[in-house]
Structure 1
Amino acid sequence: MNSSQPNILVFDPHHAEEYANCVRECGFKAVKAAATYEEAEMFLPGTEIILGWKFPTQLLHTPNALSVRWFQSMGAGVNDLVANSSIPDDILLTRIVDQFGTYISEYIFAYLLHIVKDIPRMRQAQTERNWDSFISDSLAKKTIGVAGLGSIGAETVRKAKAFDMKVHGLSFSGKNAEIVDQHFTANQWKDFVKDLDYLVLTLPLTEKTYHVINREILFSMKPDSCLVNVGRGALIAENDLQSVLEEGHLKAAILDVFETEPLPKDHRFYSMPNVYVTSHLSGPSTTEGVTQFFVDNVIKYLNGETLHGIVDRKRGY
């Protein structure tokens, strides 16, 4: 291994050269950029480190990839990489962590305030030149449940407390249990959701969390509660959610992630008045943020230190 200048391959179908240039500007010159399968295949021999998004992982099981030691994902979600048998076990996987809490928590509360303050009614009154001096509701004393208490969940909890909300949390590992008013474990979903005004999902997608929000859990929630998903689309059984909403249960669903993305144009969610659909935008990966995370990890790698964001393949994230 060339400890001073490891061979780095940056792969992104749309912004590979932009990321590669940022890495080069940080002092690493042995950096190549690929945006296609053919380019990745050409540059892979001799590559030690990959910074990638939507990388053609089947290439990692070929002789061209024998030099690869570490794959850094540009995103936080790695369920597709973990489930991919094409990636040899001896390649270290890392993901981006601790960069999305601010953006995603702001997204969550933008929508919760939009609903609780009835902003549409205010805008409608303005449009109609109607002096509609109503009293809106408040988030204070409402109960919010955050499923997943990693960096995103923890920042959501912090902001919820600033709004004087009661905060419940659920986590599979027990991580950050002390930051919430009441903590629940993975076998307590019904007890967790039954008193919530708002349920926020920030969980990763694993075998244990796939379709964890189904008809049974949704009907365990209060009829006027709201669901927010900023984790992974497949946390929710979408057909169950659609039917539950159509039956009049739940006040609203705020969905930034879906099982199929982009969400098909003919999907019912688009036209449902109590469903808010956004295009997986709540936690953007910025070029600067991803590059800085990666470069910091490269320095750790060269110094023989433990990398940040290491993926536990058995756990799934």
Structure 2
Amino acid sequence: MSNRKLVISQNLNEPLLQKVKELIPEWTVITGRSPEIWKEHIIDAEVIAGWKSSMSASVHTSEVKWIQTWSAGVNALPLETLKQRKVRITTANGVHAYPISETIFALMLSLTRKIDTYIKQQQEKTWHHANMKQEIHEKTIGIIGVGKIGKETAKIAKAFGMTVLGMRHSGKSEEYVDEMFTQKQLNTLLPRCDYIVVTLPLTPETQGMFGKTEFQLMRPSAFFINIGRGNLVVENELVHALNDNQIAGAGLDVFETEPLPEKSPLWEMNNVIITPHTSGNTEFYDQRLIQDIFIPNLKDYLDCKNPSINLLDYKKGY
């Protein structure tokens, strides 16, 4: 009888769970969202799927060799300790491409066609055009971070006849992106765009990337969309840019502090749409993560290979 153990800190439906168990029939599989189910098993689990912050207390003495996160970001993990222990980490990057790209365009279209304004007017029973005149077709979008989400966003943008400018670390070209830039060329990209969409992970290189200088470089008619991480933006400088009409508006799913504090001026701004860090939510989340990422990675792991999908590069931070 094998003593190898997998902890899945999520409530999986039975068909998905069975697909995992079929690959590791001799393993002990612990599954469930409640910490009461898995907390005593973290210390001797070889594989953990779904990292929780409370697990960090055991990481120094645990036997974990591979962690599959349930999110694209890894900022909540004790990365230095895991790096020293040579624990492999794979992320959920790619699970979110459809729902987040849909949210991006929902925000862009709402701001452009003043849907948010009309919803407020409906509540007040006010009939007014609100000076709505802009359209999204044939405009220029700048996608800051052309990973899987950025690629899907670029693909949709082409359906609107948009010019797509992209920025990625390598500067490598990508389908549906007309021009690609590197981070050093960001200031060249910004003045050309009607929409700036930020999909980057948070790393030391990207922290505070958008501040006073960047907002001043944007067009006064441009909209800023952030679904990456809140700390990519210097929030008080975004507030200043919005108040001073340096940019036309913003659609924000992520913030420096979450939940967004009640005292934040962003709540009261008519040119801002706020969503509560839900852009990646989808009915297919668990299915895509298990079938498209975890099971292929588990097969690699069982073959004594590094997991091949979304393996974290500790140096890059993603």
TM normalised by structure 2 equals: 0.86
Q: State which of 276, 281, 284 in structure 1 corresponds to 2:278.
A: 281
Residue 41 of structure 1, CA deviation: 4.8
Closer/same/farther in 2, CA of residues 188 and 82 from structure 1, 3 Å limit: farther
Residue 71 of structure 1, CA deviation: 0.7
Residue 57 of structure 1, CA deviation: 1.9
1:108 to 2:107 alignment: no
| Equivalent in the alignment of 1:295 | 295
1:98 to 2:98 alignment: no
The CA deviation string for residues 54-95 of structure 1, in whole angstroms up to 9 with x for no partner, is 242231111xx13x2101111101133264435643211110
Separation in 1 of the partners of 2:90 and 2:152? Answer: 22
Separation in 2 of the partners of 1:120 and 1:187? Answer: 35
Closer/same/farther in 2, CA of residues 233 and 297 from structure 1, 3 Å limit: same
**In percent, how many aligned pairs have the same letter?**
33
SS in 2 for 1:172: coil
Q: State which of 164, 168, 185 in structure 2 corresponds to 1:167.
A: 164
The CA deviation string for residues 96-145 of structure 1, in whole angstroms up to 9 with x for no partner, is 12221111111111121122223356664897585969874321221100
Separation in 2 of the partners of 1:41 and 1:134? Answer: 56
Unaligned runs of 5+ in 1: none
Separation in 2 of the partners of 1:129 and 1:236? Answer: 35
Do the aligned residues in 1 keep the contact of 2:117 with 2:270 (CA within 8 Å)? no
Separation in 1 of the partners of 2:45 and 2:15? Answer: 18
Do the aligned residues in 2 keep the contact of 1:154 with 1:176 (CA within 8 Å)? no
Residue 27 of structure 1, CA deviation: 4.7
Do the aligned residues in 2 keep the contact of 1:58 with 1:86 (CA within 8 Å)? no
Separation in 2 of the partners of 1:109 and 1:222? Answer: 19
Q: State which of 66, 72, 91 in structure 2 corresponds to 1:70.
A: 66
| Equivalent in the alignment of 2:314 | 313
Closer/same/farther in 2, CA of residues 7 and 179 from structure 1, 3 Å limit: same
* 1:191-202 map, 5 Å: 191-202=188-199
Do the aligned residues in 1 keep the contact of 2:168 with 2:182 (CA within 8 Å)? yes
Unaligned runs of 5+ in 2: none
Amino acid at match of 1:25: Q
Separation in 2 of the partners of 1:72 and 1:295? Answer: 11
SS in 2 for 1:42: coil
* Cα RMSD after superposing both structures: 2.8
Amino acid at match of 1:72: Q
Separation in 2 of the partners of 1:22 and 1:266? Answer: 45
SS in 2 for 1:79: coil
Do the aligned residues in 2 keep the contact of 1:118 with 1:136 (CA within 8 Å)? no
Residue 179 of structure 1, CA deviation: 3.7
Q: State which of 51, 54, 72 in structure 2 corresponds to 1:53.
A: 51
Closer/same/farther in 2, CA of residues 277 and 50 from structure 1, 3 Å limit: same
1:241 to 2:238 alignment: yes
Residue 296 of structure 1, CA deviation: 2.9
Do the aligned residues in 1 keep the contact of 2:172 with 2:180 (CA within 8 Å)? no
Residue 302 of structure 1, CA deviation: 1.3
Do the aligned residues in 2 keep the contact of 1:76 with 1:97 (CA within 8 Å)? yes
* 1:209-228 map, 5 Å: 209-228=206-225
More moved, 242-251 vs 23-32 = 23-32
